[in-house]
Amino acid sequence: MILSLSFYLFIMTIVYVVLVLYMRNGWMRIPYFQSEEHFPNEKVSIIIAARNEEQNIGKTLDAIIAQDYPKELLEVIVIDDHSTDKTGLIVQSYATRGVKLITLNEGSKLNSYKKFAINKAIIASEGDIIITTDADCQMGPKWVRTIISYMVLNQKQMVSSPVSYHEEKSYFEKLQTLEFLYLIGLGASGIGNENPTTCNGANLAYRKSLFFEMGGFKGIDDLASGDDELLLHKVAENHSAWIGFCKSREAVVYTDAKENLKAFLNQRRRWASKSTKYKDKKVVVLGVCIWIFNLVFLGSLLSVLVLDKDAQTLVLVSLIFKFLCELAFLYPVLAFMRRKELLVNLPLLTVIHPLYLIYIGIMGNIGKYDWKGRTVK
């Protein structure tokens, strides 16, 4: 059994290294975008689905109102998703500055209130281009202009843009930022390799006509999560060339890491729950290969600690290759985000990441979880 496990570790290490280096190639294929010479004239609707965000929504709206984009071409819609705090009242106070409020009051229980909210806002919107973000995000003044310029100049129908944690208050939050930027890098690299896999709804733009052409969220509306990735997959199924990644620091959206382990795991379980709806076999194979590698690596590590001291060389070599390929992938991503100092945490993350991935891979696809006071699946 030990020999068999060692053999699988050897094979899966090779597979993992090849996959990570392939994804690094995807990131490097995306050129840095600069938009100084172009000022678009597209009508844009920014949509925010908010629930119990009284501590954050004001700062987010201030950042959006301050955008370097013609006011007559910028529409801001906030959907208050049954908040029990002052979120709605705060949004109403921005009405004189052009912010529109939609208040949900759904009698029937839904499993995806967020998709319902976004769909309702898109129907009511006036913009030709939709940009979704979250109620706890911050962005620079050229955010909208940069994304729309990239979309127009590159003739893209859907654009994913960078998201990052910032202003970390603890070592745990710094670890989250490093892990999160790994995910953001994976999403960008998939687009760079012309095989889109992931994106983040905190910074996602698409033409409204494309949304309706794809049937909106029809067929993916039974999961609480997936207003971003599953919509991306619907577009990529037939039109992957229409999808781009705006590799510009001016397009970055910043948000906060989770304050504790429970909140972090709940969030990742919600994200992982989308995998049950993946139809693209290439995306599924990629995720399964990464998960299996981490499972075999953890199993081999435990076998060395408990049973077989002779296998420790192979486990050590696997760990070194895992670290080196992740370093090769993360270095240019963190350089782009100007967060290279986070690399000091990579050795620890390389060791503990397998345990987390295995747990999330299982728990994200079974049972229910709590999200903003709701139990969903």
> What's the domain range around 256?
31-260
Confidence tier at 52 by pLDDT (50, 70, 90) = very high
> For position 108, what pLDDT does the model report?
65
Which segment of 55-59, 131-135, 184-188, 354-358 scores lowest on mean pLDDT?
A: 354-358
Does position 277 have pLDDT exceeding 80, yes or no?
Answer: no
Locate 366 and state its tokens. Answer: 């079974």
Q: In 3D, which of 50, 55, 181 has the Cα closest to residue 117?
A: 50
Give the integer Cα–Cα distance in Å for 313 and 309: 9
Which segment of 97-101, 132-136, 155-159, 292-296 scores lowest on mean pLDDT?
A: 292-296
In terms of pLDDT, which residue wins out, 282 or 34? 34
| Residue 210 sits in the same domain as residue 290 | no
Share of the chain above pLDDT 90, in %: 66
Task: Write the burial class of residue 286 (CB in 10 Å: 0-12 exposed, 13-18 middle, 19+ buried).
Answer: buried
| Residue 191 sits in the same domain as residue 327 | no
Residue 320 lies in a domain: yes
Category of 256 on φ-ψ map: left (φ > 0), alpha (ψ -120 to 50) or beta: beta
> For position 2, what pLDDT does the model report?
47
Tell me the C-alpha to C-alpha distance, in Å, between residue 72 and each of 96, 100, 219.
14, 14, 35
Confidence tier at 238 by pLDDT (50, 70, 90) = confident
Average pLDDT over residues 53-60: 96
Sheet arrangement for strand 138-139: 138-139, 253-255, 163-165
Q: In 3D, which of 265, 267, 248 has the Cα closest to residue 205?
A: 248
In terms of pLDDT, which residue wins out, 20 or 105? 20
| Residue 79 sits in the same domain as residue 178 | yes
In terms of pLDDT, which residue wins out, 44 or 351? 44
Count CB-CB contacts under 10 A for residue 216. 17
The CATH number assigned to the domain holding 134 equals 3.90.550.10
Average pLDDT over residues 242-256: 97
| Residue 241 sits in the same domain as residue 291 | no
Residue 272 lies in a domain: no
Residue 143 lies in a domain: yes
> For position 368, what pLDDT does the model report?
64
| Residue 132 sits in the same domain as residue 185 | yes
Does position 48 have pLDDT exceeding 50, yes or no?
Answer: yes
> For position 377, what pLDDT does the model report?
57
| Residue 95 sits in the same domain as residue 229 | yes
pLDDT tens-digit series, residues 57-103? 999 999 999 999 999 999 999 999 999 999 999 999 999 999 999 99
pTM listed for this prediction: 0.91
| Residue 96 sits in the same domain as residue 196 | yes
Confidence tier at 124 by pLDDT (50, 70, 90) = very high
| Residue 97 sits in the same domain as residue 174 | yes
> For position 301, what pLDDT does the model report?
80
Residue 271 lies in a domain: no
| Residue 11 sits in the same domain as residue 65 | no
Strand runs labelled E in the chain: 44-50, 74-80, 99-103, 129-133, 138-139, 158-160, 163-165, 204-207, 243-245, 253-255, 369-371, 374-376
Strand runs labelled E in 19-118: 44-50, 74-80, 99-103
User: Which ranges of 208-345 would DSSP assign to H, the alpha helix?
Assistant: 208-213, 229-239, 261-272, 281-306, 312-337
| Residue 88 sits in the same domain as residue 215 | yes
Does position 1 have pLDDT exceeding 50, yes or no?
Answer: no
> For position 306, what pLDDT does the model report?
64
Strand (E) or helix (H) holding 39: none
| DSSP 8-state assignment for residue 31 | P
Q: What φ, ψ does residue 101 adopt, rounded to 5°?
A: -115, 130
| Residue 204 sits in the same domain as residue 290 | no
Average pLDDT over residues 108-130: 89
Instruction: List, in order, residues 6 or more apart from 43 with CB less than 8 Å away.
Output: 73, 75, 126, 127, 128, 129
Residue 160 lies in a domain: yes
Give the integer Cα–Cα distance in Å for 322 and 324: 6
pLDDT tens-digit series, residues 167-223? 999 999 999 999 999 999 999 999 999 999 999 999 999 999 999 999 999 988 777
- For the chain, the domain total comes to 2
Pairing label, strands 163-165, 253-255 = parallel
Confidence tier at 303 by pLDDT (50, 70, 90) = confident
| Residue 330 sits in the same domain as residue 201 | no
